[in-house]
Structure 1
Amino acid sequence: MPIHHPQRPRQLSGGDSATSGVQQAEAALVEHYPRLVRLAYLVLPPSLGRHRRVLAAHGAVQRALPGPRTSPERPPAPVLPRVPEQSRAAISAEGTDRRPEAPAYVWVRLRVLRTALAYERRPRWWPGRFPAPAALRPAVPVVWGLRLFPRAGGVEELTLDRALSQVPGAVRAAFALRTLESLSDAEVRALLGQAGCADPALAVRAAGRLAGDDRAGAELLLRSGEFDPCTVQTRPSDLLRRRNRLRAVAAAAALCVAAGALVAVAGDGSSGVADAGPGGRSAVVPALEPAGLLRSDAQEWADTSRLDFTAWPARGGRTDDRELLGRALDVWGRTPRTTTVSTTAGTVAVPPAQPPRLLYAGEVDGAAVVLLHDGGVRLVRYAEPLAGGGVSALDFARTDDAGVTTGAAVVISRTGDGARFLLAPWIARSATRDLLAPDVPARDLDVAPDGVTAAVPRPAPGGACDAWPAIQLSSSERVVEKHAFLLTDLGDLAPAHLTYTPRPAGGSRARQPREATSPPALLSWARTACSLRAVRGSGVRAVNNWEFARQTLPEGGASAGWLCTRADTWRGPGRVLVQFVQPGPSRTAPATVVADRDDTALCSRFGQHILAGTRWKAPSGRWYVLAAGSRAVSRIEATGEASGAVDGTTLAVRAPRDASVELTGRLRTGGTLTAVR
């Protein structure tokens, strides 16, 4: 749904310089309206939500012009800032015109930038609905009954959006100005300073690290529909909440008319919520009625390009048991205190706003289990014991943008040391393997006709790490030919997808993550699988092992590897473990974790550069400081109680065991890195 910007205003002749300047600024605003709104949308805090961000971006641009009652500035034409006279890169606006250099546009852009950055400078005590005091608060368009969202992009756009959500507004502004406006770093620093940024230089450096080497790729992503608030999709707001509010307002108005100044407090329980029907279930909420549950056809997955939980058919022996489905929906809608509830990080345990999709209803391991999918965002599992005396359980997990691999299996039951999975309908073959035994072939896994697997051993949460079970699944040839991948149970409803990124050969371009089923990938995971204990139960979507460097050790020439193990969660943030893989007594000896970082873009597409170090004892008994960097590192320097420098991606310096040493890396592009801790 395109949001059309206003028609171009006519240029008026005559009048004073202030009027002329405002008219020029208005003409620039209307001409470049989509560009300005996109810039505002990127700078605004993602915590506003996509709907409010869209409205706030349009409001920030539409309020950029000064008026007699809104701003004292009213600039005359001669005082509008001028752009430095230098050659500019030809970057189009919405793919057609060159970057505007008119002083009027430069002035309007500064106004928009100030307003967007003001959203993050509100006091902590200020109500979340209003970003700043009235002097800084832009009016937003009013949209009643609709939610507005930019068009959804792919995995790369989503990854960039998540990376931008983890940095301050000034960094997002610098990233957008460098990428979309093609400004130099000096121009960005000057513009951020004018906009009120406290440390423009720091924001520009952080934006440079975020963009990495692929500036053209970042520009292409920013110009996609994911970040275009002028072309949006619409969805209804919470219809039930709106209806209840309207009923409450109508009831209050009727009560005021009937009672006059008398305030009556009704004690009969009528509050806009309908009386419960049979079994305690509300008869007016379609989302909580078994008859309203969505069901996919058995072969829908083979005829759609969207392979996620929306393509799963309803399976199990009790999909027509209205009583069981009704109890599951009752517990979801009004959870009793006796029910055991668990949620993965970032998941809300609230009733559905629309009818969920039924994925499974049947009996597994002595319990009746119902698995529901809530509109692309959550998986909900309800379980009740078949024998009396137990309590029901309700488990919630996020499944944003699941796909062929991340939407391929769900943990349907856990008992003792084993777990059963419900597999996606596009899985043609299933097997199990031990990640700590990379040379042992995968063993076939039995699957019932309803898609439930035989019990699979679970990774031990503590104690000795002697084995790490995983399931190896193969997609149907109707989906993709010869596609196998690994999943492992990390304690959530959705198992984690394991991938592997090999080290670039001969300084070539960075490689992309691939399935962890090749011999090198299995050997990599054999050394690092036990480190997955650190991310159990944190809502992990996928874990990638990236071998970013290989180092020849001093005193003997043995070879060691450096791995960055990145765990991405369903809610967005990631955790990184940097591991040093030295020669060991066996090919499965665990690697050494030398760095641990939470909520970071390191080792992702938007954090392609890394430097790490560790202390290492040689067979002779001498201690060394070792360091390694990714492929773009051209020089490593050590300073402090031990010093040294070397051109290349690895360094080894003699140093006392407890010496304090600082490591710095230089990039081929001219930037610098400090070692991750």
Structure 2
Amino acid sequence: MLLPQLRRTAGGAGTDVLTAESALVEQYGDLVRLAYLVLPASLNRHRRVLLAHSLVQRALPHGRAPRSAAAVPPQRHAGQPAGGGPALDPLRTEVVRGALAHERRPRVWPARLSPPRALAPHLPLVLGLRLFPRSGGAHETALVQALSGVSAPVRAAFVLGRLDGLSDAAVRDLLVRAGAPDARGAVRAAARLEADAGEAAAALLASREFDACTVQAHPTDLLRRRRRVRLAGLLGAGVVVAAAALVSTGAAGVGAGPDGSPRPVAGAPAAKDLVRTAPGAWDDTSRVDFTAWPARGSRARDDALLNRALAAWARPGRGTQVAYAKDTARDTPPAAPHLLFAGDLDGRAVVVLYDGQRLARYDEPSGTGGARGLTVARVDDADVTTAAAVTLDVRDGRARYLLAPWVAEAGTRDLARPDTVARPLDVSGDGVTAAVPVLSSAGGCGGSRPVLQLRSSSRIAEKHAFLLAGVGDLSPVHLTYTPLPGHGTPPARQPREATGSAALLAWAHLACGLDGVRGSGVRAVNAWDFAEQDLPADGGHAVWTCSRADTWRGTGNVTVALRTDRQSTASAAAVVAGARSTAECSRFGQHVVAGAQWRAPDGHWYLLAAGSRAVTGISVDGDVRANASGRTLAVRSPHGAQVRVSARLSTGGSLAAVGAPEKPE
């Protein structure tokens, strides 16, 4: 590891730099943590660690501030900690500015830096090691997902306020100096995130999950490195250019045969290196995910096929159709992946590999003719349910799946018919299902909405039935449900499996919304019935549902729908609001309020509004003005009226409706 020396300016300016250096060294760990948390989550953890250290080390000023600026120290706001002295505030500003610039320009060093610093090497450099913080527990993982779902300015405001103890005014000023586009909005969003995260947020932020100064080190590919060193020693000065080209080709890990098929070359993992898990490992491990899958299929020992699959993943040749799921890394596997399946399926050879973070499915024609295909999707942090099935093939609106070894029962059911029991599904000895229909948007919402219903084995503690919706992606979507308050829901409102009668009824009205998750990298969708109300004018009973689609990358989109007991189960609920990349309707966004216009049976229009458990009152302004205590509101309203709905919470705070812009302070 090569670390740069912190530069000092000669002469009288050295005093300022020495003061800043002292503050930087004293607060180095906190500054690195701040940079690591603000940097975009799309970067891998190794790169974020190095960038965090680089941003902090480059935050040191190059000289004394102008005399006019130094004559008046920056204003200290109430609640701003005194630790670190006046030199710490500009350091924080530089660190946040650099981290924000990386979110805007992730592949280019920020242009704001002065030319001498922009031309400097990006130290520290690490050769031969991969560094990443130690993993935390479930609470830290949930906080990681919540932070990845908000923007970098919001993350910065959250850390500065919750961990560094700065007041809202101080955080706002620092974000303005760092170039954040909406400092006030970032502080408000951070306050909501802080309220949802609870009092344990500071302890979680201080845990090892976010400590980029306490890291684990793993080696890079040792065999590849050794081969390169030996090759460099044998080649003379006259073949330096040829050697560089050879190493570059080896790093790509692929070649192409005369017909364009993938061909393994030096540097890529080979079939002999593949990880093959023992068949019964899932029954004797605490990690029940893709790492516990055994290698199955009639061609699991076909080295030629496996080598072509590995080479295609490294870099596909011409003639290979490639599809990467949204926000899936496109780099080569860091080590030899796990082999999950290799076999013939409906005239094509299919190989499924797993590298610890991503699934890759390679397929080629078993005979002559036909295109080769490669599909890669991220599946990090998969569990008993989200690692229970992989899509092997989709053809003519029907799919065949490879099921996990812990799946004891498999069936299909129609979400549009909640009273119909699941039908058994044929599964081969290798875990391959018969072809079943996938969800399709063709024909609208009037047709069937088929999903898989699986039950895990009694040999693991997670024995239960659960639903997976095949939308054509590599990984089916896990469906869950949270019932109405007072209907058996615990205070924590943890989602449960969507196999009960209330869950199936809710999903019968919401199933059409699953068409929108195709191709967006969604791992699970939870339907939360957050409120119910009796409708005016003898309109019956209504239920409000917030459906949250969580992606593998941690962000989530929500839609709010309204259904009534006058609708048939085949009728889709009316979507009344929505928001993208939000923490709403999740563990870190447990409060929600929404409004909608509704036409009563007598022809009159009403404005309806409802809120979740902690809502104590609802207000409406705009073309219609009204207030109501409690969690629901219904008031006569002209059709098309423009209104703003807000709610009061039992905590004393206020809440805007889902999808509504924040009010200015």
Per the normalisation by structure 1, the TM-score is 0.83
1:415-439 Cα offsets, whole Å, 9 max, x none, are 3332221111112222222112222
Q: In the aligned structure 2, how far is the partner of 1:321 from the partner of 1:494?
A: 25
Maintained 8 Å contact 2:384/2:462: no
Gaps of 5+ in 2: 6-10, 661-665
Report the AA paired with residue 438 of structure 2: R
1:452 to 419, 422, 432: 432
Asked if 1:216 is matched to 2:206, the reply is no
Specify the alignment match of 1:9 in structure 2: none
Q: CA deviation at 1:487?
A: 0.6
Report the AA paired with residue 561 of structure 2: Q
1:196-222 Cα offsets, whole Å, 9 max, x none, are 656543321111122234421322332
Report the AA paired with residue 167 of structure 1: V
Report the AA paired with residue 656 of structure 1: P
Maintained 8 Å contact 1:634/1:666: yes
Maintained 8 Å contact 1:361/1:369: yes
1:368-395 Cα offsets, whole Å, 9 max, x none, are 221111x212211122233433222222
Q: CA deviation at 1:498?
A: 0.5
1:37 to 28, 32, 41: 32
Moved more, 178-187 or 26-35: 26-35
Maintained 8 Å contact 1:428/1:476: yes
Q: In the aligned structure 1, how far is the partner of 2:17 from the partner of 2:245?
A: 58
1:335 to 308, 312, 316: 316
Report the AA paired with residue 50 of structure 2: L
1:149 to 132, 139, 142: 132
Q: CA deviation at 1:539?
A: 2.0
Q: CA deviation at 1:40?
A: 3.0
Report the AA paired with residue 225 of structure 1: R
Q: CA deviation at 1:108?
A: 1.9
Moved more, 297-306 or 104-113: 104-113
Moved more, 580-589 or 516-525: 580-589
Q: CA deviation at 1:442?
A: 2.0
Maintained 8 Å contact 1:575/1:599: yes
Specify the alignment match of 1:582 in structure 2: 564
Call closer, same or farther: CA 1:243–1:282 in 2, change over 3 Å: farther
Moved more, 135-144 or 272-281: 272-281
Maintained 8 Å contact 1:172/1:207: yes
Which structure 2 residues correspond to residues 582-661 of structure 1 after superposition, within 5 A?
Answer: 582-661=564-643
Q: CA deviation at 1:364?
A: 1.9
Asked if 1:471 is matched to 2:467, the reply is no
Which structure 2 residues correspond to residues 174-573 of structure 1 after superposition, within 5 A?
Answer: 174-192=157-175, 199-237=182-220, 254-255=237-238, 273=249, 281-287=263-269, 289-348=270-329, 351-373=332-354, 375-465=355-445, 466-505=447-486, 509-556=491-538, 558-573=540-555
Q: CA deviation at 1:230?
A: 1.5
Report the AA paired with residue 619 of structure 2: E
Moved more, 569-578 or 652-661: 569-578
- Say which SS state the counterpart of residue 144 (structure 2) adopts: helix
- Say which SS state the counterpart of residue 513 (structure 2) adopts: helix
Q: CA deviation at 1:504?
A: 2.6
Q: CA deviation at 1:127?
A: 6.5
- Say which SS state the counterpart of residue 451 (structure 2) adopts: strand
Call closer, same or farther: CA 1:122–1:303 in 2, change over 3 Å: closer
Call closer, same or farther: CA 1:113–1:51 in 2, change over 3 Å: farther
Maintained 8 Å contact 2:533/2:541: yes
Moved more, 504-513 or 444-453: 504-513
1:85-120 Cα offsets, whole Å, 9 max, x none, are 88x9xxxxxxxxxxxx54535642552343232332
Call closer, same or farther: CA 1:171–1:250 in 2, change over 3 Å: farther
Report the AA paired with residue 501 of structure 2: P
Q: In the aligned structure 1, how far is the partner of 2:490 from the partner of 2:456?
A: 31
Maintained 8 Å contact 1:315/1:360: yes
Q: In the aligned structure 1, how far is the partner of 2:196 from the partner of 2:340?
A: 43
Q: In the aligned structure 2, how far is the partner of 1:83 from the partner of 1:442?
A: 65
Maintained 8 Å contact 1:21/1:75: no
- Say which SS state the counterpart of residue 481 (structure 2) adopts: strand
Q: In the aligned structure 2, how far is the partner of 1:268 from the partner of 1:167?
A: 42
Moved more, 131-140 or 544-553: 131-140
Maintained 8 Å contact 1:17/1:76: no
Maintained 8 Å contact 2:262/2:309: no
Moved more, 347-356 or 463-472: 347-356
Moved more, 387-396 or 128-137: 128-137
1:501-521 Cα offsets, whole Å, 9 max, x none, are 123329973411111112211
- Say which SS state the counterpart of residue 627 (structure 2) adopts: strand
Specify the alignment match of 1:13 in structure 2: none
Call closer, same or farther: CA 1:495–1:638 in 2, change over 3 Å: same
Q: In the aligned structure 1, how far is the partner of 2:285 from the partner of 2:591?
A: 38
- Say which SS state the counterpart of residue 104 (structure 1) adopts: coil
Call closer, same or farther: CA 1:572–1:238 in 2, change over 3 Å: farther
Q: CA deviation at 1:295?
A: 0.8
1:442-496 Cα offsets, whole Å, 9 max, x none, are 2222221111122222223310432111112222223215322111101101101
Q: In the aligned structure 2, how far is the partner of 1:534 from the partner of 1:276?
A: 38
1:317-371 Cα offsets, whole Å, 9 max, x none, are 1111223223333443453432333332223555434222211111222322211
Moved more, 219-228 or 278-287: 278-287
Q: In the aligned structure 2, how far is the partner of 1:240 from the partner of 1:321?
A: 23
Aligned length: 643
- Say which SS state the counterpart of residue 200 (structure 2) adopts: helix
Q: In the aligned structure 2, how far is the partner of 1:453 from the partner of 1:282?
A: 31
Gaps of 5+ in 1: 7-15, 89-100, 258-264
Report the AA paired with residue 456 of structure 1: V
Q: In the aligned structure 1, how far is the partner of 2:658 from the partner of 2:374?
A: 43
Q: RMSD over aligned Cα, in angstroms? A: 4.0
Maintained 8 Å contact 2:596/2:607: yes
Q: In the aligned structure 1, how far is the partner of 2:60 from the partner of 2:245?
A: 51
- Say which SS state the counterpart of residue 332 (structure 1) adopts: helix
Specify the alignment match of 2:156 in structure 1: 173
Report the AA paired with residue 581 of structure 1: R
Q: In the aligned structure 1, how far is the partner of 2:34 from the partner of 2:246?
A: 48
Per the normalisation by structure 2, the TM-score is 0.85
Specify the alignment match of 1:53 in structure 2: 48
Maintained 8 Å contact 1:435/1:467: yes
Maintained 8 Å contact 1:496/1:543: yes
Q: In the aligned structure 1, how far is the partner of 2:525 from the partner of 2:167?
A: 36
Report the AA paired with residue 643 of structure 2: V
Which structure 2 residues correspond to residues 13-24 of structure 1 after superposition, within 5 A?
Answer: none
Moved more, 34-43 or 243-252: 243-252
Specify the alignment match of 1:261 in structure 2: none
- Say which SS state the counterpart of residue 216 (structure 1) adopts: coil
Q: CA deviation at 1:131?
A: 6.3
- Say which SS state the counterpart of residue 327 (structure 1) adopts: helix
Same amino acid, percent of matched pairs: 49
Report the AA paired with residue 39 of structure 2: L
Call closer, same or farther: CA 1:80–1:45 in 2, change over 3 Å: farther
1:21-57 Cα offsets, whole Å, 9 max, x none, are 9877766655554333322322334455432332333
1:573-610 Cα offsets, whole Å, 9 max, x none, are 32222111122342442211112333222222233332
Moved more, 302-311 or 156-165: 156-165
